[in-house]
Amino acid sequence: MSHHKASDRRMGYKGWCYVLCGLTILFFVFWISSPENLSFKWDENVAIDLKNDFVKVNFSVDKQEVHTSVYTRQRTPSKSMGKEILFLHGQVFSSQVWEDTGALTFLAEHGFRSVAVDLPGHGLSEPLQILKDDKSRASFLLALIKALRMQQTVLVSPSMSGMYSLPFLMQYSQYLSAFIPIAPAYTEYYSTVAYKSVQTRTLIAYGDADTGLGEESLKHLMLLPNHEIFKIPQAKHAAYVDQPILFQEKISTFLSSSP
């Protein structure tokens, strides 16, 4: 009789172990299958594919919690070069411009995880009124990079998006592997001392026909100590649209040669 009771107890222990193992497996499957985790899960064996989704972004401004969603599109390389590129956009564009010009595909094919985002109030993203100062916009980008689980982040920032990228560069440059501004706005708001304190490797790009914001931003961005200048021929303000192949090849070469 005692032998049967001991056997029953052993079976009971095994049964509970099976139950716990089963629950653990179910939790893991549920976790990786959620929209946020599935869309931005890193896997070098995944084939190049276009993935569109909303990603949740959480941050705080003056102790006020902000919860929002931003539309993103990404292409993941089949073989990783390590660096991951986050594309912002100008006032009249959205993340779609980087798909239309082939930038996401080209750079993914060259080994870079490439993600383009619709900034709040553009494309498929709702406006977010609280993004009214440098601190909040920098916090927004930091929360986005963390939500996307980006490592060795390269920030590409044309025109209007300088309102986000410049505050981020000044406050959180340690999160960037490289910075690629393309005639960004907002460069005049920072001092020579502020620029010279940033050590992030920078590729300053602008069109040779952009005599407005291109030349104006260049004067300030040249104060960054670790910079290279790429003057794009036969190109206006949206130089990456006028000369997409030249621009994309330069990014690939620049990032491939960086430490």
Do 207 and 130 belong to one domain? yes
What's the CATH code of the domain at 127? 3.40.50.1820
Do 216 and 228 belong to one domain? yes
Q: How far apart are CA 123 and CA 129, in angstroms?
A: 16
* Tokens 């498929």 found at: 124
| pLDDT tens per residue, range 148-158 | 999 999 999 99
Do 27 and 128 belong to one domain? no
Q: Number of folded domains in the chain?
A: 2
* CA 26 vs CA 22, 34, 35, 94, 102: distances in Å: 6, 12, 16, 38, 39
pLDDT reported for residue 129: 87
* Tokens 């030349």 found at: 215
**Out of 26-40, 206-220, 230-244, least confident range:** 26-40
Contact predicate 95/119, CB 8 Å = no
| pLDDT tens per residue, range 22-53 | 544 444 434 433 333 323 333 333 334 557 89
- Mean pLDDT, rounded, of the chain: 85
**Which range marks the domain in which residue 20 is found?**
1-33
The reported pTM is 0.81
**Out of 75-79, 170-174, 212-216, least confident range:** 75-79
Q: Secondary structure of the chain: what % helix, strand, coil (to 5)? A: 45, 20, 35
**N- to C-terminal Cα distance for the chain?**
72
Catalytic residue set? 159, 210, 237
Do 110 and 52 belong to one domain? yes
Do 10 and 83 belong to one domain? no
Over residues 84-94, mean pLDDT? 97
pLDDT reported for residue 21: 52
